[in-house]
Every structure is written in C-alpha cells, then in structure tokens.
Amino acid sequence: MPGKLVLLRHGQSQWNLENRFTGWVDVDLTDQGRAEARAAGRLLAEEGIRFDIVFTSMLQRAIKTMWLALEELEQPWVDVVRHWRLNERHYGGLQGLDKAETAAKHGEEQVHIWRRSYDIPPPEMAADDPGHPRNDVRYRHLDARVLPGTESLALTLERVLPYWHDAIAPRLKAGETVLVTAHGNSLRALVKYLDGIADDVITGVNIPTGIPQLYTLDGELNVIESRYLGDADAAEAAAKAVADQAKSKLGNL
C-alpha cells in the first residue's frame, strides 16, 4: 500500500495580514501564522502521523511552517526537500500591491478575474524588474526561461504537476508518508489534480491556513479519502473565512 499524504498551507504571512499580493515575494510569518503552524503540528501528533519525507517550497513562510510543525511533532530529523516548483503562484506585476488599492485602480471585476479565474494571468512582471525570479540568487542555477513573470492557476498546475510525478508520487508509491508544506495556489493546483476538480469549480475552492489535509490513496494514487484534521466545523469555518475575505477584500492569498 502507498503511504499517506498530508498537504499543509503555510500559516498567516505578514502580507496576508496587510492584504497584499504576495506570490513569490519572500515574506515572513506573523505571530498568528507561527501559532497556526504549531497548532498544525499538534493536530498531526494527535493523529499519530510519522513522516518519512517533507517537500516544501523555496519561500520562508512555507519553510518556517514546516519547521514549527515538525518541532511540535518531535520529528525535526525528517528529510526535507525544497523546490521552486512548489512556490506560490506568481502574481506578476501585482506582487506587493495592496489589493484594495489595486481594485480601486483597475476595478473589482478585473482584479477578481486576475485572482480567481482559472486561466487568465495578471499583467506580466518585466524581466528586468529586481523582483523577477531570474534576478533572485536562490534560482541562479535554473534556466531563466522556466521562471515565471506571471501565472494563472492553470500555469501553476503546469509547474507543480511534473514535480508531483517525478519527486512526490514515487515516494508515496514506495509506502512512505509524505508532508507537502506549500501555498494556497500551489496546493489548490495539486488538489485540483488529485480530486479531479473541474476548471470552473476549482476557482471556488479555498484552502485554510495551518490546517493539515490528510489523503488516503490507493496503489495508483487515486484518492480513497481526504479530510482536514481536527474539528471539521473549524476547518470549514476557516475555509469560509478565506472565501468571505475574498468577497470583501479581494482575498488573502
């Protein structure tokens, strides 16, 4: 039998709190975000889960969430692999902008399309922008052509899926229990694939911060069951809070 899979969205970040488009900008967790990460670790401990390997992104909010969760689990020794393909969706020229101010400038309908449509990306970031990934030292060994200047959720899925097939799926098929600590959109892309969610449905799916989602899979890695750990009503309320904030403040991704 394959191992089990846990998906964990990072805790609240500083730019989540400030209602800014974050994307690949490497912002830290807030105090609340750190508390959410530790709470996730306690939920995993209550479930009795022991991990064989952790996959995370190259961004500190996901990495620190992983550290804090593993500390609560008393499993700091677990092997960790960081990879850029698990980074958050790149928000292009919107990165760093206040979401409400952006809506006032471009109109709420246009910003909603950029944020929540499946295959329409925001305006692209210029290649010579200091914030472009090709100008970030951590990606210096990559071909600049693979580094995005903007992404839709569809493009994020195209980026994440090869890593799932090449790195994560083989460990699950070998019977290992795997934790993936990443971001709202890189995880939404993976959930879309795992659960076979339609393009027009995934746009309404919201993943709460700091609540582990446990997948039980068959030998072909088809989903047998998935559930959020802890109180189901609390997880539903946390996901609804993300959706409600998206309606009132254009989201908190």
14 is in an annotated binding site: yes
* 108 annotated ligand-binding residue: no
Question: Letter for the amino acid at 45?
Answer: A
Residue 188 in marked binding region: no
Instruction: Check if the beta carbon of residue 65 is closer than 8 Å to that of residue 33.
Output: yes
Tell whether 47 is in a known binding site.
no
90 is in an annotated binding site: yes
Active-site choice (71, 72, 74, 88): 88
Question: Of the listed 10, 132, 151, 183, which one is catalytic?
Answer: 10
Whether 88 is catalytic: yes
Per the annotation, the verdict on 10 as an active-site residue is yes
Determine if residue 240 is labeled as part of a ligand binding site: no
- 15 marked as binding residue: yes
Q: Is 67 annotated to bind ligand? A: no
Rounded to whole angstroms, the Cα distance separating 158 from 193 reads 11
Residue 111 and residue 85 in contact, taking contact as beta carbons nearer than 8 Å: no
Is 118 annotated among the ligand-binding residues? no
Buried b (16+ CB within 10 A) or exposed e, 80-101: bebbbbbbbbbbbbbbebbbee
- The answer to the question of whether 116 is labelled as a binding residue is yes
Which residues are documented as binding site for substrate? 9-16, 22-23, 61, 88-91, 99, 115-116, 184-185
- Residues forming the active site: 10, 88
Which residues carry a binding-site annotation?
Answer: 9-16, 22-23, 61, 88-91, 99, 115-116, 184-185
